[in-house]
Amino acid sequence: MLSRLVYFSVEGDVGAQGILRILDEAREGNRGEEITGVLAFDRHWFLQCLEGPRDAVTRKFLAIARDQRHSGVTLVAFEGISSRLFPDWTMGAMDASGLDREAFDPPSMTASAALATLRGLRATGATM
């Protein structure tokens, strides 16, 4: 059974190189776990969607929650799914720093709004 998990957290001032390290680690680790997803970020927030086998997604989220590179990890949604929204990305990345605060404010987003934001960023080509 596939699951989708969405969370947000406060970015811990990791900088551009830190973001690249996070992405490299995620892409390598997710490949072996059959996890796909996307990480959106600006200078304050991380918003991430993970998709894959329920146990693998749960383990990954617990590891993320312990990661010192961010704080205030908040679960937005965790649900069973029949298909993935981001099937081609072991971990896609989208820079949301060009959006205004109202357009990218994860604490104010519902689960459907968070997913719509991630899909919208992908459609605008804000990926890296």
* Per-residue pLDDT tens digits for 82-92: 999 999 888 88
Q: Which pLDDT does position 96 carry in this prediction?
A: 85
What is the rounded CA–CA span in Å between residue 51 and residue 2?
Answer: 7
Q: Which pLDDT does position 16 carry in this prediction?
A: 78
Distance of alpha carbon 105 from the chain centroid: 14
How far apart, in Å, are the Cα atoms of 23 and each of 2, 20, 46?
Answer: 22, 5, 12
- 3-20 pLDDT, tens digit per residue, is 999 999 998 777 778 888
Q: Helix, strand, or coil here: 35?
A: coil
